[in-house]
Chain A
Amino acid sequence: MNRGIPVKGPATQTLARHEERFPFFLTLRISAAPAAAFVILVGMIEEICVLVRIPAYILPRPSAIARELWTRAPEYLKHSGITAAEAGLGFAVATLLAFGVGVLFVHSRVAERSLYPYAIALKAVPVVALAPILVLWFGAGFLGKVVMAALVCFFPVVVGTTTGMRSVGREVTDLFASLGASRWQALWKLRMPSSMPQVFSALKVSATLSVVGAIVGELSGSLNGLGFVILVASYEVQTVRMFAAIVCASIIGIGFFLAVAVVERRVLFWHESVAEVDRGTVLVNREAPRSIREEKRS
């Protein structure tokens, strides 16, 4: 039987119509496989922990981590909120700055030649090594972590915007020149939109990196946040808590990534990368897309 390729047949069509009306069911169908894999994997770890009798201070059982998260939920929520705020703010600041720098580089060869090497140099500096210095400068509070997160996010976005705004073909450039477009119009109507695919792949990278930056900042000196939880737990050999904090951090990272991906889908609806996904999951079962319809003339 033709399993796994739902193209025709009344049952799949009903399903498709149903999913179109209630997007929740579509989400459910798409996420079913990874969810099942997750359950199986976690169950296996749980069993192995019990069977091999790994001590809890080496590898706590997943159920123990879940219980820890559940019983002390307010505490974890608070620290997660702080880390998420640091990472998110750092990400936002870095994105804005990097976008500005990218625009500058595209419009001024001199600026690019003199400053681009330093942007690369900044990337080459191991930011982890900067963490204690940032604590020295900004104290053990919120600001230092924002700076750290921003530092980590900055470079990928600079590269993304610069290469993105450069990748404009000669004929489109000619078109804008023939229409008498100003530099500003060319930036706004041509370069910005056409840079978006590269910008968004850079943003997806830096969104997850921002959480790493914030936690590294917290590890080297702080009074709250997930990094602080991990640090204290490691002194007390509370492995369950460390794992619980890691789970929280992962959820934040995944959340950031998904948030960027959702915005990307809305902004880049015209781009092949997004269109491809549509064709694979939804359009298969819908009526023929527009292009297949007969051309009116000719």
Chain B
Amino acid sequence: MLERGRNSTQSSLRGVLNGMDMVLELRQVCVTFHSIKGEPVAALDEINLSVRRGEFVCIVGPSGCGKTTLLRVAGGLIPPSSGGVTFIDGAVSASARERGIAYVFQDPVLLPWRNVLKNALLGAEISLKGPVALRCVEWLEKLGLGDFLDAYPRELSGGMRSRVALARALSLAPRLLLMDEPFAALDETTRYALGQELQTLWKSEGFTALFVTHSVREAVLLADRIVVLSWRPGHVQATIAVDAERPRREEVFSDREIAKTVARVRELIGPSISLQGRGPSDRSSR
């Protein structure tokens, strides 16, 4: 159902979206913040983005281009300044949880006074739903944390904390999983390993994923489609499909097509960084 859309197009649009099996659609989404001085600062500029059911979409772009803002809009944490966000089957003004959206943040944000199991159970506890304790244990075991159910966050390594955060999100059985650079704080090896696990889980569980990252290689490893955002105010520069068999491993980068894709995405991000020198105001007055 439409959340913040134009009423005239509501019913026809829903039909179209259902036909294409969409999970999420953003139409002409603009977000403008007020700076401390009170001047409006455009963060997102006419974003059009749709995510199909079961798809893995990665969003890349130079840092500060509004990737996180985009994800927050998609998850309903902040409203767009203009434009519409449609989440299929979701009730108007329902919480992200009720619409089947789960979040994984850049920081694992575990509550330090809860042990691993209780952290994973947080979502279930708040929404008071389902036979979740069992499911949480299952997820934690799948992610290799079976022996650490009663450990506290400060006893865990960074990779394990990220896994707990992932288990907490997945135990809600989300239809859409929003991830905001979830592995950014991890070392290269752990990051790669978690990416591999995420791929496997995504394939076996069949959820839809929207994944923000600033690592082009990570995006290429994970995504069906890569959405490249420009420097602020962020708008969609290009959408690039990645065609390669899964599970994708490190070897995939020796493939010529993939290497081309990596180069292309890098190129698209590259020039927009140099635009920083000219300042964002040049672009917003465009």
Contacts and interface: CB of A to CB of B under 8 A. Distances in A.
Interface of A: 169, 171-172, 174-181, 185, 189-190, 193-194, 196, 269-272, 275, 289-291, 295-298
B98 A180 contact: yes
Given A171-B109, A296-B147, 12 more contacts: A169-B109, A178-B76, A178-B97, A179-B96, A179-B123, A193-B111, A196-B113, A275-B154, A290-B151, A290-B156, A295-B159, A298-B159
Contacts of A193: 111, 113
Q: Which of A171, A179, A296 is packed against the most chain B CB atoms within 10 Å?
A: A179
A178 B144 contact: no
B190 A271 contact: no
Q: State the main secondary structure of chain A at its contact with B.
A: helix
Interface of B: 72, 75-77, 94-98, 101-103, 105-107, 109, 111-113, 122-123, 125-127, 143-148, 151-157, 159-160, 189-190, 193-194, 197
Given A175-B105, A175-B109, A179-B96, A189 B125 contact: yes
Given A176-B126, A179-B127, A189-B122, A289 B75 contact: no
B144 A174 contact: no
A270 B113 contact: yes
A190 B102 CA distance: 18
A274 to B, nearest CB: 11
B155 A291 contact: yes
Contacts of B126: 176, 179-181, 185, 189
A177 B96 contact: yes
Contact of A271 (B75, B107, B112): B112
Contact of B77 (A174, A181, A270, A291): A174
Given A270-B154, A290-B151, A297-B144, A178 B96 contact: yes
Nearest to A175: B109
Contacts of B76: 178
B190 A298 contact: yes
A178 B74 CA distance: 11
B155 A289 contact: yes
A172 B98 CA distance: 18
26 contacts: A171-B109, A174-B77, A176-B126, A178-B76, A178-B77, A179-B122, A179-B126, A180-B94, A180-B95, A180-B98, A181-B126, A185-B126, A189-B122, A189-B125, A194-B111, A270-B152, A271-B112, A291-B154, A291-B156, A291-B157, A295-B157, A295-B160, A297-B143, A297-B144, A297-B197, A298-B193
